[in-house]
Amino acid sequence: MRNKHQFARKTWVRFAKFEKMRCRIHKTHPLAPPARPFSVSSLTTPGHQRFSRAQQKPLLNWHLAASIKSVALPADPPLSKIAAELAGTPPLRDALQWFVRQKQWINEQHLQLCRVPASTFFEQRRAEWMLAQFRALGCVARIDRGGNVIAHPQENRTGPYIALTAHLDTVLAPRKDEEVYTTPDGRLHGPGTADNGAGLAALLAIARVITSFPDLSDDFRNLVFVANVGEEGEGNLSGMRYLCRQSSTGGRIQSFLILDGPNVDHVTSQALASRRFDVTISGPGGHSWSDYGFANPIHALARAIVSFSEQRLPSTGSPRSSYNFGIIEGGSSINSIPTLARTKVDIRSESPLKLDEIAALLTSTVEQALEAENERATGGKVTAKIKEIGSRPGGRLPDDAHILQAVRAVDSHLGIRSHLDCASTDANVPLSMGLPAISIGAGGHGGGAHTPQEWFHPDGRELGLKRVLLVLFLLLRDLDG
């Protein structure tokens, strides 16, 4: 009986929310008959009752309705229909058009933020820049102990929240402003312009549109913006780990909508697990002529990499797996036997068991390479140390999760064709904890991520921003609490 009471109470709470929104839009009394086409029946939420005109009576003691057992629950209208009807109502309709009118402002913010260097572990300057922008837009903003920028459209310390996030850090960073520039065709060039300049620019665009339309303030009061550190490389998702596991704000977040890159053709709902290792081989070193025959760390490391690479991993099918030796270093001069050689390797797999198998393969190939090098050496032996420097947890969102339903509904309304995929993003952390999270593109087009040739083009950015705003609206209107 208690569960029935709670369910009925939540039904009436959500009905009251829609009545409040309708009244603000149409300037009517909460108990007045709804004006077409914005009818109460058209705003039925999934899993809740559609009310007929005869049932729209003053509910002065609505909380007592929980004890009524005869309430029928007819089939719900498609969520895509609800999304379309909401998108056509002021002020949300005007807010969606704002993205088209303010293209130049958004592009300028994108250019300026990408000129602030923010390589992993060195995001502070960009965090301070984002903090200043949020405050200038009227948000209540701060930097938490993890280095993340946390901003609210208005003061709200209690939650619950829906989080809109984008990571601050980049793989490469500009050394001077001129390295980030716009060409006459509107394309933005430079490190981090797509990954994740697109996501950060979207945070500012969403923040400004909300603060530009006061009638939306109540609808978005439970939104929290997060510009987090440590997503790339050896950052090991440090910012999102802090937010989800240590921050009091993170404990009040019910869903995560993560913006990573520009393209809108994918929805990451499965977290790709990964492990990163530092492999170091050491030896006594020596002179290339007089000490020839001593075991050479670089020779041993090269043998290990070749042996590991000969073990082909399936790049297609299931489970898909990959590896990458991204850094090799060692030695001090051409005529010296090195005392040290090092590599860093990234291993990924859709299967945790397969991931462990590949890690074990790495260990065995290094051991075999050491044995081979020491057997051929006439003096001085080599040793190895394998250190795990990063581990990203896996996870998967259920196909019927509400956040996925919301994205599908909005995509249907906007005509976006997207597919579910598996990737390593900030969503790994909340998904591994059983929290609803997806990662999507913020709009526009980009390429060359993690290279000096990275680029972004804003054509179509407004479509991505409309998608983000509508998805947030659907999530916030059904927020528990």
* 139 vs 232: CA distance, rounded Å: 27
Quote the mean pLDDT of the chain.
Answer: 87
Strands 253-259, 161-167: pairing kind: parallel
Q: Is the pLDDT of residue 86 over 50?
A: yes
How confident is residue 454, by pLDDT bands cut at 50, 70 and 90?
very high
Name the amino acid, one letter, at 458.
P
pLDDT top residue among 415 and 58: 415
242-295 pLDDT tens trace:
999 999 999 999 999 999 999 999 999 999 999 999 999 999 999 999 999 999
Question: Is the omega angle on the peptide bond into residue 160 within 30 degrees of 0, that is, cis?
Answer: yes
Contact by Cβ (8 Å): 427, 164: no
d(CA 351, CA 358): 11
CATH topology of domain 95-271+394-477: Aminopeptidase (3.40.630)
Q: What is the predicted pLDDT for the residue at 57?
A: 36
Q: 3-class SS at 102? A: coil
Q: What is the pTM of this model?
A: 0.81
By residue count, the chain amounts to 481
Lowest mean pLDDT among 234-238, 421-425, 464-468, 475-479: 475-479
Q: What is the DSSP letter of 48?
A: S
Bond preceding residue 156 cis, omega within 30 of 0? no
- Given this model, what pLDDT does residue 59 score? 32
Compare 315 and 126 and report the one with higher pLDDT.
Answer: 126
The mean-pLDDT minimum among 20-29, 347-356, 357-366 falls in: 20-29
Of the chain, the percentage scoring pLDDT greater than 70 comes to 83
What is the pLDDT averaged over residues 31-43? Answer: 38
Where exactly are the structural domains of the chain?
Answer: 2-77, 95-271+394-477, 274-392
Query: Does the structure show a pLDDT above 70 at 315?
Result: no
pLDDT band at 77 (very low <50, low <70, confident <90, very high): low
Domain formed by 274-392, architecture: 2-Layer Sandwich (3.30)
Q: Which of 217, 24, 118, 110 is nearest to 443 (CA)?
A: 110
